[in-house]
Structure 1
Amino acid sequence: MDKEQELDYLFTRDWRKIENKQLLDDFLKRNREEHLKGQYTMLKRQKCLRKGAKTHRINNKKRTKICEEECIELKKQRSELENERQILFGEIQWYEMQLVNWY
């Protein structure tokens, strides 16, 4: 059994009963490192979740720029649709007036 397998074995056992001091130190160090990695990842996720829609991304600046460009494009489409709606609303009013005058 190599050292890595022994450490894996120790994870499944009660670490307080380990007699080999070096193995115990390695085990505790590895356990602590994994715990800290988990804490760091958890804190990073919480920070990203607090930002709202921005989720955990590797290249956040690039993603943000793409999102801003998409947002600008959607705003343009929205204004175009609003203009079309105003035109149609005006036409509907005109036709209603024609109907009122016709009767």
Structure 2
Amino acid sequence: MKSKRKKRHEIFNSLLQDEKVCYRTQSTINLHKHHIFAGSHRNKSEKYGLWVWLRNDWHNGASYSVHADPTGELAVHLKQEAQRRFEAIYGHEKFMKEFGKNYL
């Protein structure tokens, strides 16, 4: 009989977080999964764990959210931190090949 309990790595594979809390506020309420490199890179963000949990207002529910202000402080910080974490594992050349832009 197969266990209903999933292994930790099957549930959570973010390179930037190790618990389900808002990256910005540490809240555990009304969380959304934010893929740091969206659009055509969304699947790669998922594949490599380049995502974080954000409270709805920080995700897309307010004027200061990462989707409403993609050049804002939080959005830029997330892209830079994601690139650093990715490159620590795979290197700069692979990051450029996968995502095509240097955020550092």
Q: Same fold (TM over 0.5)?
A: no
TM-score by length of 1: 0.28
TM-score by length of 2: 0.28
Q: Which has the higher helix share?
A: 1
Q: Which has the higher strand share?
A: 2
Q: Which has the bigger relative contact order, CA under 8 A and spacing at least 6? A: 2
When Rg is computed on C-alpha atoms for both structures, the one with the higher figure is: 1
